Amino acid sequence: MNKEQFYSTHPDERVDIINEMLKTRSYSEVAKEIGVPGSSFGKEMQRGDYVYIQRDNKFYKFVRDKTMVVSNNESATDNILSFIKDNQDILKKMISDYEYGNKMLILDERVYSNNAKFENKSIKMNNDIHKQFVEFCKKDYPFLTVQDLIAQSLLEFMEKYSK
């Protein structure tokens, strides 16, 4: 591969060629052989989201999303099954609630909107009622925050009693 071919080849194809060359040569030797300075070589090779791993003397595709990475010991299916096993009780309860219409709660978008401005508010309330509410939330909706459930309760109250 010469300098012109290096710059004109698609990054996905180029990385295959360069990795093949790196099997028998060092990083600097490959850059010199192509006729490109080491720093320019590295910058150009990063196009297409490739990263050089020195200990392997090889370029790899850089993955930005952690959910896309699957370890060598676990397959994606194992990860999913592990999640289901860890959350089995919660998932069963959610499915049961959905099927039987029991306590099905769908939060209003305004409760969790990314555009919402949040402030701390102090309110005085009956301690026993607050404790009961917190316990209710932990038992029936452990996957939601008390903050979100209070906001949802306020919205539903306004909707129910508005004139």
Handedness of CA 57, 58, 63, 68 (dihedral sign): negative
Q: What is the pLDDT of residue 104?
A: 64
Q: Which residues pair with 53 in a beta bridge?
A: 58
Q: What is the pLDDT of residue 49?
A: 85
- CA 41 from centre of chain: 31
Has residue 34 been placed in a domain?
Answer: yes
Q: What is the pLDDT of residue 67?
A: 61
Parent domain of 43:
3-63
8 A C-beta contact, residue 59 and residue 52: yes
Q: What is the pLDDT of residue 106?
A: 77
8 A C-beta contact, residue 141 and residue 105: yes
* CA proximity to 144, closest of 128, 133, 155: 133
pLDDT tens digits, 88-115 = 988 887 787 777 666 667 788 888 888 8
Has residue 59 been placed in a domain?
Answer: yes
Has residue 86 been placed in a domain?
Answer: no
Has residue 13 been placed in a domain?
Answer: yes
Radius of gyration of the chain (CA): 28
Has residue 29 been placed in a domain?
Answer: yes
Residue 74 in this model has a pLDDT that exceeds 80: no
Q: In this structure, how many other beta carbons lie within 10 angstroms of the beta carbon of residue 19?
A: 17
Has residue 96 been placed in a domain?
Answer: no
Residues 6 or more apart from 124 whose CB is under 8 A from it? none
pLDDT tens digits, 4-58 = 888 888 988 999 999 999 999 999 999 999 998 888 888 888 888 888 888 889 9
Nearest-angstrom CA–CA distance, 28 and 38: 6
Has residue 89 been placed in a domain?
Answer: no
Has residue 27 been placed in a domain?
Answer: yes
Whether 59 and 110 share a structural domain:
no
Total domains in the chain come to 2
Nearest-angstrom CA–CA distance, 96 and 76: 27
Residues 6 or more apart from 142 whose CB is under 8 A from it? 90
Q: What is the pLDDT of residue 66?
A: 61
Whether 7 and 58 share a structural domain:
yes
